[in-house]
Amino acid sequence: MATRPTWQGYLRLSLVSCPVALYTATSRSADVSFNMLHKETHNRIRMIPTDPDTGPVERADIVKGYEIEKGRYVIVTDEEIKNVRLETTRTIDIERFVDEAEIDRLYWNDPYFLAPDDDLAVEAFSVTREAMSGAGKVALARVVMHQRERVMALEPRDQGLLAYTIRSKNEVRDPADFFGSIPDVKADTKMVAIAEKIIDQLEGPFDPTEFTDRYETALRKLIAEKEKNHGVTAPVAEPKEAEVIDLMEALRRSLGEGGTRRKTTPRAAEKKPAARKTPARKRAS
């Protein structure tokens, strides 16, 4: 089954525009999820909208309300919401180009694939993509999605464009609120030197296939065992919690363990030339 686009409209660079479609670049379809069942009948539980005074409510009788003060709402209809339109409701309008490094990692959000929406759009789309590739910068554009105007960062990826939604300033917390109280302690230079050696030993290429969700794997194993009506055995040993030990001793021991691990890690000289960095997704909070 073909993936349905999240959004359809136009991509515009100055006077050049073409129809495009936006697709989510990630999937949660493989995640383990549980349904809520009645413990005796095993029937799935239905969530029934309920008014605290009158009881169950039909879906047709539910309206949208914005709370302006405790217990006081402004009622807004779906038609009124649809009538709130900006130019960016149907157009991804590129406003400027910036260096990727200028965008703080805190602001990167969800990734999308942007592709031409029909055969007639390919030529204009390709011209825009190639011009962006030559510029070597990230395009910033605006688009309305899910009842919000969002800033998007666009960059060439293969034959299409990779797009990230960018968080607004009021969505990002101030790091000083969390890091400001950490004492400015001068680290011991000998310990730092050992830590740097450990980092060097653990250096290696990024291979996403190595980073699987081991907790999800364990859940799937549990489900498979339950399905076979087998007993569920406890893990061999509980995961160890971090121990408070002598820091210098811990560093030295880590350095020794890292030396063993490095045997399976390619050396820096054997690595391929570094490609242009692609912004990594920060897990949405």
Confidence of residue 270 (pLDDT cuts 50, 70, 90): very low
Local confidence band at 104 (pLDDT 50, 70, 90 cut-offs): very high
> Nearest-CA neighbor of 93 among 20, 13, 154, 6?
13
CATH number at 7-27+84-171: 2.40.290.10
Domains in the chain: boundaries: 7-27+84-171, 186-233+246-270
On the CB side of 109, how many CA atoms lie within 13 Å of its CA? Answer: 14
Position with higher pLDDT, 233 vs 10: 10
Query: How much is the pTM?
Result: 0.69
Query: How far apart are alpha carbons 205 and 280 in whole angstroms?
Result: 15
Pair type for strands 91-98 and 7-13 = parallel
Chain segment 119-140, per-residue pLDDT in tens: 989 999 999 999 888 888 999 9
Residue 231: pLDDT band with limits 50, 70, 90:
low
Which residues, 6 or more positions from 285, have their beta carbon under 8 angstroms from its beta carbon? none
Residue 182 has pLDDT above 80, yes or no: yes
